Amino acid sequence: MIVIHLYGKLRRYVHSSSSCKDNAIQVSPKSDETLESLLMRMEISIEEIYTIFFNSKLLVTRSKTARWLGYQQLRTSPFDWDLEIPVKSGDRIGIFGRDMAALVI
Amino acid sequence: MSKKILRVDMSKLKAKFEDFPEEYATMGGRALTSTIVSNEVPPTCHPLGPNNKVVFAPGIVTGATAPTSGRMSVGGKSPLTGGIKEANAGTNFAQKMGRMRIAAIIVEGKYEGNDYFLLKITNDGTEFINATKWSGKGLYQTYKKLFQEFGSQVGICGVGIAAELLGAASGICFNDPEGLPSRYAGRGGLGAVMASKGLKFIVVDETGASGVEIVNKDLFNQGSNKLRSALLTHDLTKPQGSLNTYGTNVLLNVINEAGALPHRNFATGQDDRAANISGEEKAEQIKKRGGVRPHFCSPGCIIQCSEIWTKPGGKDPVGVLEYESVWALGANCGIYNLDDVGELNRACNNLGLDTIEAGDTIAVAMEGGLLSFGDGKGALKLMKEVHKKTPTGRIIANGTAFTGQAYGVTRIPVVKGQGLPAYDPRPIKGIGVTYATTPMGADHTAGYAIAPEILGVGGTLDPRDPKKAEVSRNLQIATAFIDSTGYCLFIAFACLDIPEGLEGVVESVNGVLGTKLTVDDIATIGRQIIDTELAFNKAAGFSAADDRLPEFFEEEKLPPHDVVFGVSNEELDNVF
C-alpha cells in the first residue's frame, strides 16, 4: 500500500479527518502507477498543492526558499512539476495544500 | 526634537538623555545594538559583571506606519554563548520607543545592593522605582498589576525569576497587545544581564511623544505601500494565508514530513504523533476554546501570525505558542499533548525563560535520566523547581549545555553554548551551516531572509553541491540588514517572490533617514554588521573551532533519512 499523508485543507480528502491525528490514506497502487495518476484517481488538483514530499524528500514546492534551505530533495530542481514518477507499495507521500505555504519560518 | 540615546547607570541609579551620535545616524535595531556593544563593552568582560551592558534599540522604521515593523532588538554580551548577542521581539514597546525618538536605551553598571528597580520613561523624563516587591513573582501576575498601576497605554519590558537566578536561559520579556508577558527577546540569556544590574522592569509611557521623524514622507509612504501590497498578496503572509491561519506552527507538520523535526533530543526526524501538536490542531483548538487567532504582536502588522492560546473554556490565556516553542517543549521532549505544551509555555513566560533553550534543556535532562521523555507533568515540575529557586531549578535556568554537564549527558545540541532550534541540521544542511557559523550561537533566524539571487550576490543552493558557505554567508548578511530596519523577518517571504516588496523596504528606510540606499547596498550594510559582531567574538576568544556542530551530528545518522551533517570544517571556515 502507498501511504498518503494530507495536511491543511487537503485533509478533506481523508474520510473522518481530524486536525489532531495523522491524516493518511492507504492506497493500493495500480500497475504502472505514477504520482500523477494517483493524484488524478484521488481527484486532488495539482493547483491546490503547494508542496509534495516523496519518502520524506522534497519533490516539488512553490516556495522559492527551497533553493537555499538544503532540504533532502528527490530531484535537483524542486520546481519541476512533472509528476510522472513511478510509485510503489511502501512509498510515503506527504502533500501540503496552498494554505500551508511554508518550508521555513 | 531629534533622536536621542537614554543612558542608564544602574551603579548610581541615574539616567540621562544624550544626543544621538552622527556615526550612528543611519542605524537602528541590530546594527545599533551590535555597534554600541562593540564600542562600549570589553569583549572579555564577565557577562554578568558591571562592564557588560544591555542595549535596547527599535528598528529604523519602528513606530511609524510601515507594515509589520514593530521589532525591538536587544543586545549585549551573552552569558550563554560568551559572545555578542542580538535577540529581538515584536512588541508595541518598540513602537512607543520609536515614537518617543529614543534610538537606544543603554543600561550599564550594576546596582550594588539587593534591591531591584523599575525604570519609568516618559516624555518628561525618567524615574527609578523600587521593584523588589516583585522579586520571586511570576510575570503574568506582575504584568497585570503593573498595567493596573501605570495604565493600559504603557509598554512594559521585564525579567523574571529565571533572570533573578542569573540563569543563562533567561530572556527579556515584552508585553503583547493584551498585556500578556508573551513577547520575548528570548535567546542568549540577556534577561540575566538585565537582572544582574538590578533592573527588573522598564515602563515606557509615550504620552505626548513626537512620533517618528520621517525626512521624506512621500518616499516613506511609497515604500510602505509597496511592501504592504506584497504582504497582502503572498500566500504565506496575506490575510487568511498560512501564517495568519495557523501561526508559525504551520511548519510543524511540514518539517516532520520532511524528516527533519527533532524528536526526543534530536534522536529522530519524524514521528507521526507530531500531528497532535500541529498548527492545524492548535488553530482548531483555539477556535473551540474561544482563544484568539489571528492576532498581532504589535499594531500595524499585516501578517498577524500571533494568537492567544488558552486553557479549555477560554480560561487563563497564555499568549502565542510559536512553532519553535511547540517543537522545543513538545516533540523535542517527546510530549505530544498540546495542553501540556501550552502549560510549559506558560511556565516559561511566567519565569522569564527562553522557550527554545528551556525545551532543549528539558530534553537533555530527560536524556540524563532526571525524568522520562514524554513526561509533560514531570517537565512542569522542573519549571516549579526554577520558580522555587532550588539547586535543580538553578541548573535548569542555566540552559542546555549547563544541564547536560550537570547530568552527564554527551549528546548536547548546542553551538557556542546555545541550544539548537527546530530544524535538525543533518537533513537540512543549509540551516546547519548557519547554526555553526553565525556569531549568535545556534540560531535559525540568523540566516534566512532575502534570497541571494535577488540581492544579486549569487549563491543558489544545489542540494547535491556541498558548497554551502557562500549561500549561508549571504543569507546571514541579508538577515542582519532586515534585523536593523525594524521589519519582521517574515516580510522576507513576500520580498522573495515579489521584488517590489524589497524595493518598498529600502524606500521606506530611505524615507525615514533621508538616505539614498539601493537594494544593492543591503549586502554592504549587512556585512558591516556581521563583521562588527565577528570582531567582538574574536576579541572575546572565539576561533574557528567554535564554528562547529556537536560531534554527534557527525556520528549519529538521523532517521528517516539516515544522514549525518557531513559538511566539512573547511567549508564552514569559508563562510566568514
Q: Which residue among A20, A70, A99 sits closest to B429, beta carbon to beta carbon?
A: A70
For residue B477, the chain A residues in CB contact (below 8 A) are none
| Rounded Cα distance, B209 and B221, in Å | 21
Strands (E), B198-261: 199-204
CATH of the domain at B143: 3.60.9.10
Whether residues B160 and B185 share a domain: the answer is yes
For residue B251, the chain A residues in CB contact (below 8 A) are 102-105
Residue B96 CB burial class (10 angstroms; 0-12, 13-18, ≥19)? buried
Which residue has cell 572565539? Answer: B542
Helix (H) or strand (E) holding B288: helix B279-289
Whether residues B433 and B398 share a domain: the answer is no
Q: Minimal CA–CA distance to B73: which of B45, B118, B34, B17?
A: B34
Task: Please say whether the beta carbons of B393 and B160 come within 8 A.
Answer: no
Q: Would you call A71 and B284 a contact, using CB atoms and an 8 Å cutoff? A: no
> In terms of pTM, does the model score above 0.90?
yes
Strands (E), B189-291: 199-204
- Please, which residues have CB within 8 angstroms of residue B381's CB and are 6 or more apart in sequence? B371
| ipTM of predicted complex | 0.96
CATH of the domain at B311: 1.10.569.10
Q: Count H helices and E strands in chain A, helices first.
A: 2, 5
Whether residues B285 and B177 share a domain: the answer is no
Whether residues B290 and B200 share a domain: the answer is no
> Which amino acid does the sequence have at B52?
N
Closest chain A residue to the Cα of B234, Cα to Cα: A101
Q: Which residue among A11, A71, A94 sits closest to B463, beta carbon to beta carbon?
A: A71
**Mutating which of B252, B254, B565 best tests the A interface, going by the most A Cβ atoms within 10 A?**
B254
Domain extents in chain A: 2-100
User: What is the phi-psi region of residue A17: left when phi exceeds 0, alpha when psi lies from -120 to 50, beta otherwise?
Assistant: beta
Q: Would you call B243 and A103 a contact, using CB atoms and an 8 Å cutoff? A: no
Q: Which residue among B243, B257, B493 sits closest to A5, beta carbon to beta carbon?
A: B257
B441 part of contact set with chain A, CB < 8 Å: no
State the virtual CA torsion across B148, B152, B154, B155 in degrees, nearest 10.
90
> Which amino acid does the sequence have at B348?
C
As for how many domains chain B has, the answer is: 3
| Rounded Cα distance, A82 and B241, in Å | 26
Q: Would you call A68 and B250 a contact, using CB atoms and an 8 Å cutoff? A: no
Q: What Å distances lie between residue B273 and B178, B394, B498, CA to CA?
A: 32, 32, 36
**B227, part of any domain:** no
For residue A64, the chain B residues in CB contact (below 8 A) are 451, 496-497
Distance from CA of B427 to the nearest CA of A (A): 6
Length of chain B: 576
B250 part of contact set with chain A, CB < 8 Å: yes
Closest chain B residue to the Cα of A51, Cα to Cα: B254
CATH: 3.90.550, 3.30.1330, 3.10.20, 3.90.1200. Which one for A2-100?
Answer: 3.10.20
Query: Can you give the pLDDT at residue B444?
Result: 86
Closest chain B residue to the Cα of A22, Cα to Cα: B275
What's the grid cell of residue B302? 499585516
Query: Can you give the pLDDT at residue B342?
Result: 98
For residue B428, the chain A residues in CB contact (below 8 A) are 69-72
Whether residues B293 and B338 share a domain: the answer is yes
| Rounded Cα distance, B115 and A69, in Å | 47
Strands (E), B10-143: 14-19, 54-58, 71-77, 84-90, 102-108, 117-122, 125-130
B164: DSSP letter = H
Residues 484-543 of B with CB under 8 A from A: 490, 493, 496-497
| Rounded Cα distance, B295 and B181, in Å | 15
| Rounded Cα distance, B48 and B170, in Å | 13
Query: Can you give the pLDDT at residue B496?
Result: 80
State which residues form the domain around B45. 4-204
B562 part of contact set with chain A, CB < 8 Å: no
Query: According to DSSP H, which parts of B369-466 are helical?
Result: 376-387, 391-397, 400-406, 429-437, 452-455
Query: Can you give the pLDDT at residue B470?
Result: 80
Distance from CA of A80 to the nearest CA of B (A): 14
Closest chain B residue to the Cα of A96, Cα to Cα: B254
Q: What is the pLDDT along chain B (576 residues), one digit of tens a residue?
A: 799 999 999 999 999 999 999 999 999 999 999 999 999 999 999 999 999 999 999 999 999 999 999 999 999 999 999 999 999 999 999 999 999 999 999 999 999 999 999 999 999 999 999 999 999 999 999 999 999 999 999 999 999 999 999 999 999 999 999 999 999 999 999 999 999 999 999 999 999 999 999 999 999 999 999 999 999 999 999 999 999 999 999 999 999 999 999 999 999 999 999 999 999 999 999 999 999 999 999 999 999 999 999 999 999 999 999 999 999 999 999 999 999 999 999 999 999 999 999 999 999 999 999 999 999 999 999 999 999 999 999 999 999 999 999 999 999 999 999 999 999 999 998 889 999 999 999 998 887 644 444 444 334 445 445 457 887 888 888 889 999 999 999 998 888 888 899 999 999 999 999 999 998 899 899 999 999 999 999 999 999 999 999 999 999 999 999 999 999 999 999 999
Which tens digits make up the pLDDT trace of A34-75? 999 999 999 999 999 999 999 999 999 998 888 778 889 999
- Please, which residues have CB within 8 angstroms of residue B70's CB and are 6 or more apart in sequence? B62, B90, B91, B92, B94, B95, B297, B298, B299, B300, B301, B486, B488
Q: Which residue among B270, B274, B431 sits closest to A69, beta carbon to beta carbon?
A: B431
Helix (H) or strand (E) holding A60: strand A57-61
Task: Please say whether the beta carbons of B195 and B163 come within 8 A.
Answer: yes
What's the grid cell of residue B379? 517537565
Q: Which residue among B427, B448, B461 sits closest to A104, beta carbon to beta carbon?
A: B448
Whether residues B400 and B537 share a domain: the answer is no
Distance from CA of A103 to the nearest CA of B (A): 7
Whether residues B26 and B57 share a domain: the answer is yes
**B464, part of any domain:** yes
Distance from CA of A94 to the nearest CA of B (A): 6
Task: Please say whether the beta carbons of B482 and B509 come within 8 A.
Answer: no
CB-side neighbour CA atoms (13 Å) of B472: 28
For residue B245, the chain A residues in CB contact (below 8 A) are 99
For residue A70, the chain B residues in CB contact (below 8 A) are 428-433, 461, 463, 468
Distance from CA of B56 to the nearest CA of A (A): 24
Query: Can you give the pLDDT at residue B467?
Result: 59
Q: Would you call A7 and B280 a contact, using CB atoms and an 8 Å cutoff? A: yes
Query: Can you give the pLDDT at residue A69?
Result: 80
